[in-house]
């Protein structure tokens, strides 16, 4: 695992975008996308590189991590719409190549199995961008999620619903209670995991995920089991880490031949 403490949240976003862009330039067939605030800077960087540097997504398929159950696809907070509004509609990605789990399927378990098949058919996902919940969730794998779980239904915790109420006019009653999410095993199949966390509200979760025990109670601790992980944090999100000096030393002395 490589842990990079950037000078600012904006720098973390740009670096995440550059890492994803490198994968696309190297011929990634599939990339994994997340919603929420954390990846927005990365998406802005990818859009900029598309506009200014000719970065093309024409041969790429995208796969979202998760989706609320029961929100119509056109709802402003459906993740299917969010990802189009914030990223994919601004680049040369064919809409047919933008995928997410179907939160409105009549048979959700069948939709979950179908999503797993779609990822397997197009994968492997070369790079998966991730945020982390204040409670350590990854995707919508809430504390207690099986470390080998696949795409399935989860019930959101009260804290996640409260955290996400900001996207629903601060009205908790509008936040769905259930979601369909890639499992921790599904996420772990991606070749490179890039997690971005900014702000003091993420400091405890980052410390638990990176330096705590691997545990279903901190789903993001599965990062410790993966062979290729980059964690990008701003100083506020790094505040709970013990080995900050070592992480900074490793980045400052990174061999010139070693990419992210």
Q: Which of 139, 183, 188, 219 binds ligand F6R (CB under 6 A)?
A: 139
What Rg value do the Cα atoms of the chain yield, rounded? 17
Whole-number Cα distances in Å, 78 to 72, 99, 149: 7, 13, 23
Select from 32-40, 99-107, 169-177, 238-246 the region that touches ligand F6R (CB under 6 A).
Answer: 32-40
Q: Which of 45, 66, 142, 234 binds ligand F6R (CB under 6 A)?
A: 66
Written as six digits, the tokens of 202 are 């993420």
Query: Shortest Cβ distance from residue 64 to ligand F6R (Å)?
Result: 7
Compare residues 200 and 254 and give the one whose CB is closer to ligand F6R: 200
Compare residues 132 and 238 and give the one whose CB is closer to ligand F6R: 132
Query: Shortest Cβ distance from residue 225 to ligand F6R (Å)?
Result: 18
Query: Shortest Cβ distance from residue 38 to ligand F6R (Å)?
Result: 3
Compare residues 83 and 241 and give the one whose CB is closer to ligand F6R: 83
Select from 24-32, 36-44, 92-100, 111-119 the region that touches ligand F6R (CB under 6 A).
Answer: 36-44
Q: Which of 38, 88, 149, 186 binds ligand F6R (CB under 6 A)?
A: 38
The enclosing H or E element of 13 equals helix 9-25
Integer distance in angstroms from the first to the last C-alpha of the chain? 10
- Closest Cα to residue 197, out of 42, 68, 21? 42
Q: Does 35 bind ligand F6R (CB under 6 A)?
A: yes
Cβ atoms of 17 and 46 within 8 Å: the answer is yes
Catalytic residue ranges:
66, 135, 137, 142
Select from 133-141, 147-155, 241-249, 250-258 the region that touches ligand F6R (CB under 6 A).
Answer: 133-141
Select from 29-37, 51-59, 224-232, 234-242 the region that touches ligand F6R (CB under 6 A).
Answer: 29-37
* Cα 177 from Cα 249, distance rounded (Å): 43
User: Binding residues for ligand F6R, how many (CB under 6 A)?
Assistant: 14
Q: Does 220 bind ligand F6R (CB under 6 A)?
A: no
Q: Is 117 exposed, middle or buried (0-12, 13-18, 19+ CB in 10 A)?
A: exposed
Written as six digits, the tokens of 169 are 């006019």
Compare residues 114 and 162 and give the one whose CB is closer to ligand F6R: 162
How many distinct helices (H) and strands (E) make up the chain?
A: 8, 10
Q: Does 65 bind ligand F6R (CB under 6 A)?
A: yes
β-bridge pairing 178-181 and 66-68:
antiparallel
The angle at the Cα of 200, spanning 199 to 201, to the nearest 5 degrees, equals 90
Q: Helices 9-25 and 40-53: crossing angle, nearest 10°?
A: 50
Written as six digits, the tokens of 94 are 């064919």
Q: Which residues bind ligand F6R (CB under 6 A)?
A: 34-38, 65-66, 131-133, 137-140
């Amino acid at each position: 695992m490589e842990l990079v403490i950037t000078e600012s949240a904006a720098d973390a976003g740009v670096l995440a975008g550059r890492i994803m862009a490198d994968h696309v330039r190297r011929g990634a067939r599939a990339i994994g996308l997340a919603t929420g605030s954390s990846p927005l800077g990365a998406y802005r960087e990818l859009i900029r590189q598309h506009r200014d540097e000719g970065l093309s997504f024409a041969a790429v398929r995208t796969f979202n991590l998760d989706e609320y159950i029961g929100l119509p696809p056109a709802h402003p907070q459906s993740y299917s719409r969010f990802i189009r509004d914030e990223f994919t509609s601004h680049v040369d990605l064919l809409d047919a190549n933008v995928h997410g789990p179907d939160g409105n399927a009549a048979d959700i378990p069948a939709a979950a199995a179908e999503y797993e098949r779609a990822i397997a058919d197009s994968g492997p996902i070369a790079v998966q961008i991730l945020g982390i919940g204040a409670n350590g969730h990854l995707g919508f794998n809430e504390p207690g999620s099986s470390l080998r779980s696949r795409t399935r239904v989860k019930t959101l915790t009260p804290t996640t619903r409260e955290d996400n109420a900001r996207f629903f006019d601060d009205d908790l009653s509008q936040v769905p209670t259930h979601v369909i999410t890639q499992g921790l095993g599904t996420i772990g199949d991606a070749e490179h995991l890039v997690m971005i966390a900014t702000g003091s509200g993420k400091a405890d979760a980052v410390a638990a995920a990176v330096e705590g025990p691997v545990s279903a109670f901190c789903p993001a601790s599965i990062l410790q089991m993966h062979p290729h992980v980059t964690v990008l944090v701003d100083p506020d999100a790094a505040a709970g880490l013990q080995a900050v000096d070592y992480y900074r030393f490793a980045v400052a002395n990174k061999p010139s031949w070693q990419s992210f």
